């Protein structure tokens, strides 16, 4: 397996969520298309779906992109906590900054603090119902 990337599904909030994630990660959306932009012959598009996002890509590091979409208006999307996204920060400052930004309007499950396994670790659910774990490990400089 080459890699795995998170794909987040929303119910009409995808564009808003990814605009928020742009500020969280100091990143820019690389690709975004809406149902109304699909080529002819793709199929019938409900009026309620025209502004919904079909696919979005937000590179958040050299190796990882967040991707996402809105479900169509005829589908049910249930928010839940069965999947958590883990972010491994490169520095304590980055961990603090990302945790603070993600928690705006959300709910902190576990404050970002020192644990027995990490220099900093915290858990939260953002304002869009996405569950995050933020982790920072001190690099081991031993030979």
- pLDDT by residue for the chain (143 residues), tens only, comes to 577 889 999 999 999 999 999 999 999 999 999 999 998 888 888 999 999 999 999 999 999 999 999 998 888 888 887 789 999 999 999 999 999 999 999 999 999 999 999 999 999 999 999 999 999 998 875 54
Query: Which CATH entry fits the domain spanning 7-70: 3.30.70.260, 3.30.720.100, 3.30.379.10, 3.40.50.2300?
Result: 3.30.720.100
Query: Which CATH entry fits the domain spanning 84-136: 3.40.50.1220, 3.40.1190.20, 3.30.360.10, 3.30.720.110?
Result: 3.30.720.110
Q: In what order do the strands lie in the sheet with 84-88?
A: 84-88, 131-136, 120-125, 107-113
Nearest alpha-carbon partner for 75 in 46, 100, 95, 113 = 46
Q: In what order do the strands lie in the sheet with 65-70?
A: 7-10, 65-70, 53-59, 31-34
pLDDT at 4: 80
What secondary structure letter does DSSP report for 38?
S
């Amino acid at each position: 397996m080459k890699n795995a990337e998170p794909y987040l599904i929303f119910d009409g909030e995808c564009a808003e969520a990814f605009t928020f994630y742009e500020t969280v990660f100091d990143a820019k959306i690389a690709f975004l298309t809406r149902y109304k932009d699909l080529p002819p012959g793709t199929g019938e598009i409900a009026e309620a779906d025209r502004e919904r996002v079909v696919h979005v890509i937000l590179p958040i590091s050299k190796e990882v992109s967040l991707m996402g979409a809105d479900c169509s208006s005829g589908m049910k999307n249930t928010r839940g906590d069965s999947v958590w996204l883990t972010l491994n920060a490169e520095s304590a400052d980055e961990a603090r900054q990302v945790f603070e930004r993600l928690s705006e309007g959300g709910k902190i499950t576990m404050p970002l603090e020192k644990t027995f396994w990490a220099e900093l670790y915290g858990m939260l659910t953002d304002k869009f119902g996405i569950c995050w774990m933020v982790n920072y490990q001190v690099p081991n400089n031993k030979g």
